[in-house]
Amino acid sequence: MFINKKTGASYGFAAPEIESDRNKDVQVPFPTFETLTPTLSSNAASVDVVRTTTLVDLGSSALAAAATITAVAGGKLPAGARLMVKWTNGGTKYDVTLKKDADTTCATLTGVASTTVCYEVVWTGTTWQLLK
């Protein structure tokens, strides 16, 4: 149960009735959000993703070339965690390649000329999956 310290209102958690979860200890991660603003070096950056919802913001300045982001799922990142990648393109569109480690590409996020774009991917427990 959660209690709002200002109002005194209490909020309970209503668990779903899932038969396969009967008599199991099911833990639900507390939802948290973080914005990461990595600095690109040689058009690449690595970020550690540890929260259930994360925005990787490559800044408001237009990319000067295609970029690669390695999003390392840190700690006990649960399956279902969301990652958004946002960047701006000038007159030339540049794509962002998303990797889970140095060797494994998960998705190519397509840029659009003269537009700020944002893509969302979900952690499956083993890889980042692009949502369409």
What residue ranges do the domains of the chain occupy? 27-130
CA dist 75 → 13, 30, 51, 67, 120 (Å): 25, 14, 9, 25, 21
pLDDT-derived band at 100, boundaries 50, 70, 90: very high
Burial of 66 (0-12, 13-18, 19+ CB in 10 A): middle
Instruction: Tell me the whole-structure pTM to 2 decimals.
Output: 0.85
Distance between CA 109 and CA 103 in Å, rounded? 17
* Mean per-residue pLDDT, 2-8: 88
Tens digit of each residue's pLDDT (9 = 90 or more) over 35-86: 999 999 999 999 999 999 999 999 999 999 999 999 999 888 999 999 999 9
Tens digit of each residue's pLDDT (9 = 90 or more) over 7-27: 999 888 777 888 998 888 887
Distance between CA 49 and CA 71 in Å, rounded? 6
